[in-house]
Amino acid sequence: MTDHIDRAQLADADRTGRIIEAHQNRARPHGDGICCDCDEAIPTSRLAAEPGAERCIECQTLYERKEATRVGFHR
Ligand SMILES: [Zn+2]
């Protein structure tokens, strides 16, 4: 019985590990001019305004909106 649970937990841990690994493989050095969310080139005007920007304007807006919603729910 417990064997079944252990295996489920192991499988879950394995899956989580793989997702983290995938993210790490995807990670690029900051400021390479490519959006880390959509892989599109970040406009040079944005890079000039914010050197090391990791996201294009669209993805950054979405990201900030998502973060604001997440944080906002605490209050
Ligand atoms: Zn983007």
- pLDDT tens for each residue of 1-44: 667 778 777 778 787 777 656 666 555 555 589 999 999 999 99
Give the start-to-end residue ranges of the domains of the chain.
2-70
Question: Is-above-0.85 flag for pTM?
Answer: no
pLDDT for residue 42: 94
Residue (of 52, 28, 47) closest to 39 by Cα position:
28
d(CA 17, CA 13): 6
CA of 29 to the centre of ligand 1 (A): 16
CA of 4 to the centre of ligand 1 (A): 42
